[in-house]
């Protein structure tokens, strides 16, 4: 039995061709219904002082750039971050639900929700979103990173669209540029001068900018760095001190000194 709430499926069952409904928009820069707005490349990696979580700024719909200043690295509470790849509307709503849930728990219980509890909360949201994800209208494949106060260490987890969670030992990537970034990270950890997890903060941030630049070179949906427009990836640092956003000025300096040279 079909999902009663699937409006697009109801139209198709009634004989309406969805592509035909949007045919008049073709050729006018308007994407058709199969080209849903999507966020692209995000990743998290461990380094000497904690965890860095980064995301490019581009949101696309098919081959159309819908927006180039998207924030895909969302601070959920003072010790956790969710990086989103997929449909921004669904992902942003998940982030809002998590933020309010964690805040309510902290105020009602006078303590932070456990790290395990945070993971379960995101998994539940993804499971509840499964019908939309399988229909292709609400796919979200997030990376969740945070500082576990009980075990006193930074952790990274990634999920599939049905809510299954997997802990990443050193890094996790998601989105259209993930293949390039994953390949570079594997190479660096296997044959590089040393594990990425041993880098200090300046080295790790410069490496993040190089990774995003490399992804943008081979994936048109990844925004990369646009120094002329002053557009740099969103990068957040997670440590025992909590979540901190790396300023655009610092990224600009590192990009000029460590990437362009």
Given this model, what pLDDT does residue 261 score? Answer: 81
Per DSSP, the residues of 116-161 read HHHHHHHHHHHHHTHHHHHHTSS-B--EEEEEETTTTEEEEEEE-T
Residue 148's φ and ψ, nearest 5 degrees, are -85, 105
Structure tokens at 234: 């969103």
Note whether residue 131 is domain-resident.
yes
Given this model, what pLDDT does residue 23 score? Answer: 46
Contact 170, 162 (CB under 8 A): no
Type and span of the H or E element at 81: strand 80-83
Classified as helix, coil or strand, 132 is helix
Tell me how far apart the alpha carbons of residues 19 and 35 are, in angstroms, rounded to a whole number.
11
Q: What is the pLDDT of residues 128-139, one digit of tens each?
A: 999 998 887 889
pTM: 0.85
Q: Which is it for the CA torsion 239, 196, 40, 257, positive or negative?
A: positive
Note whether residue 13 is domain-resident.
no
Note whether residue 4 is domain-resident.
no
Compute CA distances 151 → 40, 114, 146, 148, whole Å.
32, 11, 12, 6
Out of 40, 90, 139, 180, the active site residue is 40
Number of domain units in the chain: 1
Note whether residue 6 is domain-resident.
no
Residues of the chain short of pLDDT 70, as ranges, are 1-39
CATH number, position 68? 3.60.20.10
Burial of 51 (C-beta count, 10 Å sphere; 0-12/13-18/19+): buried
Q: Position of tokens 């998590």?
A: 98
Note whether residue 14 is domain-resident.
no
Classified as helix, coil or strand, 74 is strand
Per the annotation, the verdict on 137 as an active-site residue is: no
Structure tokens at 99: 């933020």
Type and span of the H or E element at 176: none
Strand pairing category for 80-83 and 59-61: unpaired
Note whether residue 81 is domain-resident.
yes
Q: What is the pLDDT of residues 25-51, one digit of tens each?
A: 444 444 444 566 666 899 999 999 999
Give the range of the structural domain holding residue 252, as residue numbers without chain letter.
Answer: 34-259
Note whether residue 107 is domain-resident.
yes
Tell me how far apart the alpha carbons of residues 261 and 253 are, in angstroms, rounded to a whole number.
12
Tell me how far apart the alpha carbons of residues 130 and 93 are, in angstroms, rounded to a whole number.
15
225 φψ region: left (φ > 0), alpha (ψ -120 to 50), beta (else): beta
Note whether residue 105 is domain-resident.
yes
Provide the 8-state DSSP code for 195: -
């Amino acid at each position: 039995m079909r999902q009663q709430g699937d409006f697009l499926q109801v139209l198709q069952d009634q004989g309406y061709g969805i592509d035909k409904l949007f045919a008049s928009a073709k050729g006018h820069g308007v994407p058709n219904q199969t080209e849903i707005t999507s966020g692209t490349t995000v990743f998290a990696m461990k380094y000497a002082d904690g965890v860095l979580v980064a995301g490019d700024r581009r949101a696309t719909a098919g081959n159309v750039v819908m927006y180039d200043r998207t924030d895909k690295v969302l601070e959920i509470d003072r010790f956790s971050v969710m990086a989103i790849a997929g449909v921004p509307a669904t992902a942003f709503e998940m982030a809002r639900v998590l933020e309010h849930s964690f805040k309510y728990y902290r105020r009602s219980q006078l303590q932070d929700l456990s790290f395990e509890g945070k993971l379960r909360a995101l998994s539940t949201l993804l499971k509840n979103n499964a019908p939309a994800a399988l229909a292709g209208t609400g796919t979200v494949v997030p990376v969740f990173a945070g500082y576990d106060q009980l075990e006193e260490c930074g952790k990274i987890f990634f999920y599939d669209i049905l809510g299954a969670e997997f802990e990443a030992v050193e890094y996790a990537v998601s989105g259209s540029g993930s293949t390039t970034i994953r390949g570079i990270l594997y190479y660096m950890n296997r044959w590089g001068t040393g594990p990425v997890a041993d880098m200090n903060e300046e080295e790790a941030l410069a490496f993040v900018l190089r990774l995003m630049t490399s992804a943008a070179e081979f994936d048109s949906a990844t925004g990369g760095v646009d120094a002329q427009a002053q557009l740099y990836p969103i990068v957040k640092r997670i440590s025992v001190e909590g979540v901190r956003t790396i300023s655009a000025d610092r990224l600009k300096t590192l990009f000029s000194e460590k990437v362009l040279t």
